[in-house]
Amino acid sequence: MNDSSSLWNYNNTVPKVDFSNPDEMIRANGAAEAAQTDRLKAEVEDYTQILAQLRQLYEKNNELVQKLQFMNRNTTEDIKKLIEDNNVRITQKLETLEEWDHKAFEQEMKTSISGAKEEIAESVRESSDAARDLFRETTDMGHRDNVRVYRNVQAAMITELAKQTEELGEKLDRIESLSAPDPAGGMMQKVSVGLLIAVMALQILEGAGLIAILTGILH
């Protein structure tokens, strides 16, 4: 509103009139109505300006609201897109990690299997070597035992043969002393005596079981 309108009152809008004079009363009423009309027009103009300003503020606020809504909508879409992109990247990372874990597990299994194969092969080689060494030791031990037995048997045979030879010698001495020597048949007598000695020796050896022992050792 205009500042001058606030200074108006009943005293300055309605001039002093002589109420006894009808003409003056009419003029005074007309002047008062005109002044009131001017004041109302001024107030209307002021209200119109205020309404115009309010409309401008409304339009600006409306424009701002639309911009905020647009920005909010865009921001929401951007945030949504960002979340979706992040989800995609996270999924890809998880798939990559899962693939790496699977490959690492396969590699670990292959390494474990390979290590187990090597351990088994090494164990088989060690067992084979141990069995071979044991067989060789057993063979050597058996050979040594056979040699020892053979030597013991040989010593026993030598002792027994010496004893039997001594007995044969005594028997031959008795036979020679009992038999009458014939110069013409000396060679035949020696052959007969040799055969007799061989037959007696074989009988003695067979009786002592030495021939069977020697045959078993040689085979």
pLDDT at 46 over 80: yes
Please count the other Cβ atoms lying within 10 Å of the Cβ belonging to residue 66: 10
162 pLDDT above the threshold of 60: yes
Name the residue ranges covered by the structural domains of the chain.
3-218
- The pLDDT assigned to 6 comes to 39
Please give the structure tokens belonging to residue 217: 């050792």
Task: Flag the least confident range among 30-44, 68-82, 170-184.
Answer: 170-184
Are 41 and 47 in contact by the 8 Å Cβ rule? The answer is no
Averaged pLDDT of the chain: 66
For the stretch 68-124, pLDDT in tens is 777 766 677 777 777 788 778 878 877 777 777 667 667 766 676 666 667 666 765
d(CA 15, CA 27) in angstroms, rounded, equals: 10
Q: Is the pLDDT of residue 175 over 70?
A: no
Please provide residue 137's backbone torsions phi and psi, each rounded to the nearest 5 degrees.
Answer: -65, -40
pLDDT given at position 7: 39
What is the pTM assigned to this prediction? Answer: 0.28
Q: What is residue 2's DSSP assignment?
A: -
Residue 187 burial (10 A CB sphere; 0-12, 13-18, 19+): exposed
Tell me the C-alpha distance between 63 and 68, whole Å: 8
Q: Which of 44-48, 107-111, 119-123, 189-193 has the highest mean pLDDT?
A: 44-48
